[in-house]
Structure 1
Amino acid sequence: MNSNVLVIGLGLIGGSIALAIKKEHPDTTIYGFDKNKESSLLAKTLKVIDEAVFELEDIVHKCDFIFISVPVKQTIDIIQELSSYPLKKDVIVTDVGSTKQQIVQIADSIFGNLGVTFVGGHPMAGSHKSGVVAAKEHLFENAFYIFTPHNEKPSSNLAVKQLKVLLNGTKANFLIMTPEEHDRVAGVISHFPHIVAASLVHQAQKYDKVNELVRPLAAGGFRDITRIASSNPSMWRDILIQNRNVLLDLFEKWIDEMEQIKNFVANGKGDQIYDYFMDAKNFRDGLPTRTKGAIPSFYDLYVDIPDYPGIVSEITGLLAQERISITNIRIIETREEIYGVLRISFQSDEDRQKAKVCIESKTSYDTYNG
């Protein structure tokens, strides 16, 4: 495919899209633009893009595909800016935002009379690292990549087919949904869980003021189940505002859910409490494990380690010898003369399994998956 592709926003997602396209279509020319010029230059140095662009109007007229890979609020600004330039005939513009209704509506109203086809997009994959340096061509492998085209336009179906070909190197699972359906699903499995995680942290923070044991005790499992509360506040502010109506409905349903379990507890209904947790367990245990979802997965490996100097460097040294990359490492608990727990996080389940084999074959330490 000999096309000109412009990626606007050279972070983790934009950079990974560029790498995946280039891998599958080496004849494609990838142009990259970022409001931070240093990011554009770095992307070119890392060979994530072919050419760095510093003014959109200098290049948009020759681009066949334009990917807008910036936060949802900025996406609307970029759409408006693009509409002020002479774009190439039959250009396909798409985005990667995690909300779709408002973006698609605005894009249709702006591009509708310009002969530009806009297809909403959302690759449901991410990482706990950010920036173009973290970009990987296989970031979207086994992830769901959702398209929300304008169903009333024949050109939209053709555009989706072209995007699938262009993005074939991502090895993602492509799905087509309406913007409304997308935002409802994303609200349930991503947006609202972030609200719940942040609320749990707020509750702990308030109780921390009256009990000094909260903070040290929260360093274990509580810290793990609320990981997503550490996400970018600006990004989540914009997502909650754009997906306001869906989330307001989910708030009401969540209150009903809490009232139900509250009633079980208040009235000592042991059987109902058991069933409540069992139903949740069965549904969760049946969730797919080989595909990526809207919230980045945590591929953790726990290692029981003795407390002596150099133990962490010993483990990381073994992994380095096998060229296994880690994304995070933390000692959860150590006490003098007893075993502690080392938690190592990886980019993928494949890396975690390689690390497990490596450590167990070369040491006497027990390991188990998180």
Structure 2
Amino acid sequence: MTTNVSIIGLGLIGGSLALALKRNPELIITGFDRSYKSADEAYRRGIIDSVAPSVKAAAKEADYIIFAVPVAATVQLLQEAVTWDMKSSVIVSDTGSTKKPIMSAAQGLIEKGITFIGGHPMAGSHKSGISAAIGHLFENAYYVLTPAENGHPDDLERMKTLLTVTRGKLAVLDAAEHDQMTAVVSHFPHIIASSLVNMLSSQEQGQPFVRRLAAGGFRDLTRIASADPVMWRDITVQNKEQLVDQLDRWLSEMHSVRKMLNESDPDSIQQFFDDAKHFRDNLPSVAQDAAQGALYMQFDLHIDIPDHPGVISEITRILASNEISLTNIRIVETRTDVYGILVISFRSAAERNNAAQVLEKETEYSMQIL
């Protein structure tokens, strides 16, 4: 017996979800996207089995409907969906990164007797669009589900069963709890990273060499500031209350740091750094937890190489001959607190670890996984 899954929005997340679900041969994937080009590419690549002519048509025969569009668009579609013709047994979900606005918008469906279970796959890529879709995007990434307060446990189990083939780590959270935690570990860090970059930009006018010094650790520390500004504008607006609370906490922390610096007590300053180091060092690593966290990250390998012609081409040749793909390669110009000057990024911890093993076997360069 086949099960019909309709995915609304065929970008990176929607396309990757479709590819992951197609591991289950009993699923028929229908896709819809406002961009005919994206929908057509998804069909031609076999990412979906058919293209729906409209959102309503995609929803009509679906056993599962998943909105893989920005949160604001999801909210609008959920409000419109109250009037759609759908199966009474359908489960509706989404992939948005803030859950309270979505759960609120879904109340009309829930009151109508339709099951809604919020979803947030905590995975991403440096690329976007259907052309970047990959079936293993969600592997070892947390996939959070936020069921309605009075939702039936059997429906939650059905949703978990559907998503098992994504190989993500399914977790169930309250929507408010989800938004608070993602504000702490994902949304607020983006604000801090962007603030640091903007501060650097303002200082560059008087100290132009600072840009070159920022090519090392500063660039890595603030990598997330390169994310899509439109997406993060929407996330900031949607999770405003939690972010304001985090900002108040941050300002209080910075006031304490300022006081500590003015007092110039070496013991207090060392304790400040000791506490941070201890907590940071005991955070679960990807290797320990086998799961990605709330922040999209690249998996970096730092390689200490000699400065002579042909070294980089030698390394890329070795990786290519072992069919290992990389997503980025760059040279770090300063070495403060950084192991190595060549940094290679990979899509997954497995690819990075495989690359390290191959390079250790075929070269004498030292390397560090950070």
Q: TM-score range by the shorter chain?
A: over 0.9
Q: Which moved more, 1:234-243 or 1:309-318?
A: 309-318
Residue 337 of structure 2: aligned partner? none
CA positional deviation for 1:358: 1.6
Residue 87 of structure 1: aligned partner? 86
Measured in 2, the distance between the counterparts of 1:308 and 1:280 equals: 38
Measured in 2, the distance between the counterparts of 1:268 and 1:311 equals: 46
SS at match of 1:293: coil
Measured in 1, the distance between the counterparts of 2:27 and 2:110 equals: 27
Question: Which amino acid is 1:99 matched to?
Answer: T
How many residue pairs get matched?
Answer: 361
Measured in 2, the distance between the counterparts of 1:46 and 1:342 equals: 35
Residue 337 of structure 1: aligned partner? none
Q: Which moved more, 1:325-334 or 1:293-302?
A: 325-334
Residue 162 of structure 2: aligned partner? 166
Residue 150 of structure 1: aligned partner? 148
Measured in 2, the distance between the counterparts of 1:270 and 1:48 equals: 59
Query: Does 2:28 correspond to 1:29?
Result: yes
| Residue pairs, 1:173-252, within 5 angstroms | 173-252=169-248
Measured in 1, the distance between the counterparts of 2:199 and 2:7 equals: 41
Question: Which amino acid is 1:91 matched to?
Answer: V
What are the superposed Cα offsets for residues 87-128 of structure 1, whole Å, 9 maximum, x if unpaired? Answer: 1222111011110111101111x2134321111111112222
Residue 5 of structure 2: aligned partner? 5
Q: When the two structures are superposed, what TM-score results if normalisation uses the length of structure 2? A: 0.93
CA contact (8 A) 1:208 1:214 kept: yes
CA positional deviation for 1:331: 2.0
Instruction: Tell me which stretches of 4 or more aligned residues in structure 1 moved more than 4 Å.
Output: none
SS at match of 2:360: helix
Measured in 1, the distance between the counterparts of 2:85 and 2:20 equals: 28
Residue 111 of structure 1: aligned partner? 109
Measured in 1, the distance between the counterparts of 2:306 and 2:321 equals: 21
- Structure 2 regions of 5+ residues with no counterpart? 335-339
| Residue pairs, 1:1-370, within 5 angstroms | 2-23=2-23, 25-108=24-107, 110-154=108-152, 157-289=153-285, 290-333=290-333, 341-370=341-370
What are the superposed Cα offsets for residues 13-41 of structure 1, whole Å, 9 maximum, x if unpaired? Answer: 11221122111x21210011111111111
Question: Which amino acid is 1:174 matched to?
Answer: L
SS at match of 1:266: helix
What are the superposed Cα offsets for residues 219-266 of structure 1, whole Å, 9 maximum, x if unpaired? Answer: 111111000001111111111111111111111111111111111111
CA positional deviation for 1:291: 1.6
What are the superposed Cα offsets for residues 345-364 of structure 1, whole Å, 9 maximum, x if unpaired? Answer: 00111111211122222223
SS at match of 1:287: coil
CA contact (8 A) 1:264 1:270 kept: no
Question: Which amino acid is 1:194 matched to?
Answer: H
Identity over aligned pairs, percent: 45
What are the superposed Cα offsets for residues 8-67 of structure 1, whole Å, 9 maximum, x if unpaired? Answer: 1112211221122111x2121001111111111111222211112231222311001011
CA positional deviation for 1:308: 4.1
What are the superposed Cα offsets for residues 159-195 of structure 1, whole Å, 9 maximum, x if unpaired? Answer: 2111100011122222211111111101101010100
CA positional deviation for 1:309: 4.0
Measured in 1, the distance between the counterparts of 2:311 and 2:76 equals: 51
What are the superposed Cα offsets for residues 184-221 of structure 1, whole Å, 9 maximum, x if unpaired? Answer: 10110101010000010111111112111111111111
Measured in 2, the distance between the counterparts of 1:71 and 1:127 equals: 16
Measured in 1, the distance between the counterparts of 2:38 and 2:308 equals: 42
Measured in 2, the distance between the counterparts of 1:179 and 1:192 equals: 17
Measured in 1, the distance between the counterparts of 2:147 and 2:57 equals: 28
Q: When the two structures are superposed, what TM-score results if normalisation uses the length of structure 1? A: 0.93
- Structure 1 regions of 5+ residues with no counterpart? 335-339
What are the superposed Cα offsets for residues 130-161 of structure 1, whole Å, 9 maximum, x if unpaired? Answer: 2223322222222221111111233xx22211
Measured in 1, the distance between the counterparts of 2:264 and 2:333 equals: 35
Q: Name the Cα RMSD after superposition.
A: 1.7
Q: Which moved more, 1:255-264 or 1:168-177?
A: 168-177
Question: Which amino acid is 2:171 matched to?
Answer: L
SS at match of 1:333: coil
